[in-house]
Structure 1
């Protein structure tokens, strides 16, 4: 019985005269690495959460302050970025032998995620600026210290995710992007969005 081997799907990038192949995943290394990283990040934020709860209950000097309203808008922006990235992953995963017309939409969704992610970081900076305007700095009070630690540490991880997205986009432009690489980037990004929702609720109830 003859066996017919099907070639991997191709993708025609905007401005490119030739179709390029969408490479199938070869290993689970990117996904495994992401899960290890997410476990480490989870433990880090869990440790800071425990430290904040203990510190708040250890004395009567815990200072509450006005919660920056812009953080709610930042949450909506980060949630929207997760939606656009998931759209990009699904479109890429459903690639068929003739996907030329879909390549532009994948890139638009990825660039949209990149822009929204940068907007989130800028919004976080605006929140820090708002606190500084109220003379609330890292060392002003225990509550403000934890606020800065949580939000800055999370923003740094988001910036790391933005670098990863830029890497994904560059591989797509070169026609060598694998689905497992995009999936790993998506898992990390969605985790950052969920982590931020957790931090928002934590800070809102404790600060």
Structure 2
């Protein structure tokens, strides 16, 4: 075992045996501790984003399952249940959100292939389709209001506005996430950690957007056929 002498002639063991061990360039004891070294324990894992999105999806799903249960029970136990004629523009909404689910998947796959230009274009297309979906929902509301279909008129109307509004709010959250991805396309990612975060974020937002698509199809089918 090697030893060194201090200014007071005290022998201090180096390395094994409890003496002070030299620090590496990152300020950690050992070989390559911290980011950028040989130790990969600090490297970002895309699973973090996926776990967060699955938790969000779970909570949103619980909300809509509760609303759907209330909708079904209420429809069978009241004489004041008067379904409305669905505005045809909602079919456009459905078409737009289905196409947007395809475009965001194309964006995700383009990023996996490191095709940055295609990734940006598909993201822009998805954002435009999402905005179109929200706009078509507002048009449907306006048409119903002009027909005298108000939220407090009967329970079915209340559920219709509640379902579409709740879904719309959560979809706006998805649009914000898409905008965030779009802004990040202008920033270069020259590190492995940065690229992992970028891909992980794209995967998570894509998963959330697919969920919004499936959720809308379910809600629209419920309102359309369960009367």
* Partner of residue 124, structure 1: 137
Provide the C-alpha distance between the structure 2 equivalents of 1:44 and 1:127, rounded to a whole number of angstroms: 23
In the alignment, does 2:190 pair up with 1:171? no
| Contact 1:25/1:178 (<8 A) preserved | no
In the alignment, does 2:202 pair up with 1:182? yes
* Partner of residue 192, structure 1: 212
* Partner of residue 63, structure 1: 82
Secondary structure of the corresponding residue to residue 104 of structure 2: helix
> Which one has a larger percent helix, Structure 1 or Structure 2?
1
Spell out the pairing of 1:33-112 with structure 2 (5 A cutoff): 33-95=52-114, 102-112=115-125
Structure 2, unpaired ranges of 5+: 1-42, 190-196
Where does structure 1 differ by over 4 angstroms across 4 or more consecutive aligned residues?
none
Per the normalisation by structure 1, the TM-score is 0.83
Secondary structure of the corresponding residue to residue 114 of structure 1: helix
| Contact 1:67/1:204 (<8 A) preserved | yes
* Partner of residue 11, structure 1: none
| Contact 1:25/1:179 (<8 A) preserved | no
| Contact 1:85/1:186 (<8 A) preserved | yes
Structure 1, unpaired ranges of 5+: 1-23, 96-101
Per the normalisation by structure 2, the TM-score is 0.76
Q: Which has the higher contact order (CA 8 A, sep 6+)?
A: 1
Provide the C-alpha distance between the structure 2 equivalents of 1:141 and 1:25, rounded to a whole number of angstroms: 51
C-alpha deviations, 1:94-131, integer Å up to 9, x for none? 22xxxxxx322110100000000000000000011111
Q: CA RMSD in A?
A: 1.3
Secondary structure of the corresponding residue to residue 164 of structure 1: helix
Report the count of equivalent residues. 178
Secondary structure of the corresponding residue to residue 37 of structure 1: helix
| Contact 2:49/2:201 (<8 A) preserved | yes
Tell me which structure has the larger Cα radius of gyration.
2
